[in-house]
């Protein structure tokens, strides 16, 4: 008998990879090397990685192999490679946040999330490209050039975590980490045909996550399947005394939920406000089919109205810039990274100004100016104060909706991946990419995007967004797992297998 031909290592999911390593069918070093080779082969085209840590990855993989050889127990993700968004600090490994400001900066410490990954035996391949300081929806705001969408390299992979999503879709890594302040995990997931989850605010530590908007920022898992995302979610979530907003409560049973594949008896709300003008027809078509599928699978579907959601975008674009103007004040040319014009003839103030002029890109400057203005004493109540009130209204809309349904659903983003360059000079058009994702950041609850097919007009992936109450992240996985299983059954394969070869 001949052995069945197994798919190449780079196509394996995280659960499958960890299983094969644990059984000794393959070594962690072989797995790491296969992914490093893939990065070598395709990343010049994709530009998902800002830094590849070949030595670190192979050393971590060797450590897993040694543990196994000694008969020690391996965790559920031991030896699985991962692409880490370059906004988390990594001891001894460059962290740039996609900015010239931090070019060459080597953090002296690991983020809590980084530590947890290492403790789980996850093999960190390198750091991924992103919009500068996580501000953007296309990864075009990176100081290190845009990332291409593996479905069509002339299109954006979403943002700000475009590098992490592209690394998954290009089979450069089976797992990735993103951060979601207004949609930067979910929108890249949607436009690349991958799964992305924004966990409940406060459930994944922000310690060592370079701050953009502290009351909104949340790290989370990115993967090619719902189960893999759940495994990663479990590895990174949980209380951290080093983060003052960290929730001290047990992590919801997301892995168990991902395996249930049963939505019978669940009540699902379709958000009325997330449709209409500006929504691409193929996106709406796939979304409506997904709603129908949920009905067929035994869920009860109702329409709900969340009237304040239409105010979410303007509220976000006051709150996020306000917080960023304060957070980014630390880049003063004295503490980290770049320093321009320090030739002995200039004052510290002049050096700071010259460094910020050279080190920050246009979008970052735009937001710092906007935020500084919104926080100024004469305008504080009119802008920041009002935005915070809108935030409360949005939370109330969610509370009212969740009184009657278990989860809400919507398209993740109004359109599929747009061409690189199309919205680069039009901030308002760029901001619209997060129309459906921002309310959950403002309210702090949990949300997922998962692929539900291609838009017929452009053959590009469409994402379904599932939204759950705070600390009910397991519901995302229960619904997502059921939808994914039904679609894969129907198609006979996963959506990513339809992506053109790179
Ligand atoms: N696109 C949004 C912004 O530009 C969200 C970014 C994010 O989630 N990091 O702010």
Q: How far apart are CA 243 and CA 207, in angstroms?
A: 5
Q: How far apart are CA 376 and CA 370, in angstroms?
A: 10
Q: What is the DSSP letter of 299?
A: -
pLDDT for 14 equals 98
Q: How far apart are CA 236 and CA 112, in angstroms?
A: 8
CB of 304 within 8 A of CB of 272? yes
Strand arrangement of the beta sheet that strand 460-468 belongs to = 49-52, 123-128, 81-85, 175-179, 219-223, 195-198, 446-455, 460-468, 407-411, 267-271, 300-304
CB of 461 within 8 A of CB of 416? yes
Q: How far apart are CA 125 and CA 60, in angstroms?
A: 10
Beta strands in 142-287 (DSSP E): 175-179, 195-198, 219-223, 267-271
The residue-averaged pLDDT of 62-70 equals 98
Q: Which of 193, 255, 251, 204 is nearest to 226 (CA)?
A: 255
Residue 326 confidence (pLDDT) above 60? yes
- Element containing residue 52 per DSSP (H, E): strand 49-52
Q: Of 107-111, 333-337, 369-373, which range is least confident?
A: 333-337
Residue 127 confidence (pLDDT) above 80? yes
Question: Residue of the nearest CA to atom 5 in ligand 1?
Answer: 182
* Model-wide pTM > 0.95: yes
Atom of ligand 1 nearest to the CA of 316: 10
Question: Residue of the nearest CA to atom 10 in ligand 1?
Answer: 135
- pLDDT digit string (tens) for 413-451? 999 999 999 999 999 999 999 999 999 999 999 999 999
Confidence band (pLDDT; 50, 70, 90) for 78?
A: very high
The residue-averaged pLDDT of 210-224 equals 98
The residue-averaged pLDDT of 77-83 equals 98
Please give the distance, rounded to the nearest whole angstrom, from the Cα atom of residue 343 to the centre of ligand 1.
Answer: 36
What tokens were used for 110?
A: 């690991």
**Residues 34, 35, 40, 42, Cα dihedral to 10°:** 110
Report residue 127: phi and psi, to 5°: -110, 140
Atom of ligand 1 nearest to the CA of 216: 8
SS (H, E, C) 300-338: EEEEECCHHHHHHHHHHHHHHHHHHHHHHHHCCCCCCCC
Burial grade of 189 (CB within 10 A; 0-12, 13-18, 19 or more): buried
Q: Which of 68, 45, 63, 126 is nearest to 92 (CA)?
A: 126
The residue-averaged pLDDT of 378-389 equals 94
Q: How far apart are CA 185 and CA 447, in angstroms?
A: 10
Through-space distance between the first and last CA atoms of the chain, rounded to whole angstroms: 34
pLDDT for 48 equals 98
Q: How far apart are CA 439 and CA 409, in angstroms?
A: 13
Point out the residues that are catalytic.
85, 160, 184
What tokens were used for 7?
A: 């798919």
- For a mutational test of ligand 1's pocket, the pick from 320, 424, 428, 436, i.e. the residue with the most ligand atoms closer than 8 A to its C-beta, is 320
The residue-averaged pLDDT of 68-87 equals 98
Please give the distance, rounded to the nearest whole angstrom, from the Cα atom of residue 184 to the centre of ligand 1.
Answer: 5
Query: Which residues, in sequence order, are CB contacts of 378 under 8 Å at separation 6+?
Result: none
Atom of ligand 1 nearest to the CA of 161: 9
pLDDT for 6 equals 78
Atom of ligand 1 nearest to the CA of 441: 8
Confidence band (pLDDT; 50, 70, 90) for 2?
A: low
Q: Which residues, judged by CB distance below 6 Å to any ligand atom, belong to the binding site of ligand 1?
A: 134-137, 160, 179-184, 212, 320, 434
Please give the distance, rounded to the nearest whole angstrom, from the Cα atom of residue 438 to the centre of ligand 1.
Answer: 9
Please give the distance, rounded to the nearest whole angstrom, from the Cα atom of residue 62 to the centre of ligand 1.
Answer: 37
**10 alpha-carbon distance from chain centroid:** 21
pLDDT for 3 equals 58
Please give the distance, rounded to the nearest whole angstrom, from the Cα atom of residue 161 to the centre of ligand 1.
Answer: 9
To the nearest 10 degrees (0 to 180), the angle between helices 14-23 and 54-69 is 50
Please give the distance, rounded to the nearest whole angstrom, from the Cα atom of residue 94 to the centre of ligand 1.
Answer: 22
Burial grade of 473 (CB within 10 A; 0-12, 13-18, 19 or more): buried
**Residues 115, 117, 122, 127, Cα dihedral to 10°:** -90
SS (H, E, C) 180-195: CCCCCCHHHHHHHCCE
Alpha-carbon radius of gyration of the chain: 22
At which residue do the structure tokens 């495994």 appear? 231
- For a mutational test of ligand 1's pocket, the pick from 97, 98, 131, 418, i.e. the residue with the most ligand atoms closer than 8 A to its C-beta, is 131
Three-state DSSP class for 115? helix
For 12, 19, 79, 197, 326, the CA distances from 23, given in Å and listed in that order, are 15, 6, 12, 29, 50
pLDDT for 296 equals 98
Residue 1 confidence (pLDDT) above 60? no
- For a mutational test of ligand 1's pocket, the pick from 434, 436, 447, i.e. the residue with the most ligand atoms closer than 8 A to its C-beta, is 434
CB of 193 within 8 A of CB of 187? no
Three-state DSSP class for 73? coil
CB of 467 within 8 A of CB of 440? yes
* Summary mean pLDDT of the chain: 97
Q: Which of 152, 230, 139 is nearest to 188 (CA)?
A: 139
Q: Helix (H) and strand (E) counts for the chain?
A: 16, 11
Confidence band (pLDDT; 50, 70, 90) for 379?
A: very high
Query: Which residues, in sequence order, are CB contacts of 273 under 8 Å at separation 6+?
Result: 305, 306, 307, 309, 310
């Amino acid at each position: 008998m001949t052995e069945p031909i197994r798919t190449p290592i780079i196509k394996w999911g995280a659960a499958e990879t960890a299983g094969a390593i644990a059984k000794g069918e393959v070594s962690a070093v072989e797995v790491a090397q296969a992914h490093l080779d893939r990065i070598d082969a395709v990343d010049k085209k994709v530009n998902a990685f800002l830094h590849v840590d070949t030595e670190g990855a192979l050393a971590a993989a060797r450590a897993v192999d040694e543990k196994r050889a000694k008969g020690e127990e391996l965790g559920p993700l031991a030896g699985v490679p991962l692409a880490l968004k370059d906004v988390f600090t990594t001891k001894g490994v460059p962290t740039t946040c996609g900015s010239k400001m931090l070019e060459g900066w080597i953090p002296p410490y690991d983020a809590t999330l980084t530590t947890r990954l290492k403790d789980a035996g996850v093999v960190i391949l390198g750091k991924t490209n992103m919009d500068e300081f996580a501000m953007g929806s296309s990864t075009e705001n990176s100081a290190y050039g845009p990332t291409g969408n593996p479905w069509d390299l002339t299109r954006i992979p979403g943002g700000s975590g475009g590098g992490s999503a592209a690394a998954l879709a290009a089979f450069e890594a089976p797992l990735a980490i993103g951060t979601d302040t207004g949609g930067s995990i979910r929108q890249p997931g949607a436009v690349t045909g991958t799964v992305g989850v924004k966990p409940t605010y406060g459930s994944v530590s922000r310690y060592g996550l370079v701050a953009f908007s502290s009351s909104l920022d949340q790290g989370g898992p990115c993967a090619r399947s719902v189960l893999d995302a759940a495994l990663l979610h479990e590895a990174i979530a949980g209380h951290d005394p080093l983060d003052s907003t960290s929730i001290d409560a047990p992590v919801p049973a997301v892995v168990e939920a991902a395996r249930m594949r049963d939505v019978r008896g669940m009540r699902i709300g379709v958000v009325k406000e997330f449709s209409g003008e500006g929504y691409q027809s193929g996106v709406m078509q796939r979304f409506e089919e997904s709603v129908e599928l949920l009905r067929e699978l035994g869920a009860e579907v109702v329409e709900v109205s969340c009237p304040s959601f239409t105010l979410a975008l303007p509220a976000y674009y006051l709150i996020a810039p306000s917080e960023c103007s304060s957070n980014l004040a630390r880049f003063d040319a004295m503490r980290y990274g770049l320093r321009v014009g320090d030739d002995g003839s200039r004052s510290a103030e002049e050096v700071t100004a010259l460094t910020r002029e050279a080190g920050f890109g246009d979008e970052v400057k735009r937001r710092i100016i906007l935020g500084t203005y919104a926080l100024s004493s004469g305008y504080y109540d009119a802008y920041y104060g009002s935005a915070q009130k809108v935030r409360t209204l949005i939370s109330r809309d969610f509370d009212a909706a969740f009184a009657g349904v278990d989860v809400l659903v919507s398209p993740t983003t109004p359109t599929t991946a747009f061409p690189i360059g199309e919205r680069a000079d039009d901030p308002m058009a760029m901001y619209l990419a997060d129309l459906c994702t921002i309310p959950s950041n403002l309210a702090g609850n949990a949300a997922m995007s998962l692929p539900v097919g291609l838009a017929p007009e452009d053959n590009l992936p469409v994402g379904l967004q599932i939204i759950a109450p705070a600390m009910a992240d397991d519901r995302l996985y229960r619904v997502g797992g059921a939808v994914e299983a039904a679609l894969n059954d129907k198609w006979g394969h996963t959506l990513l297998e339809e992506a053109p070869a790179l």
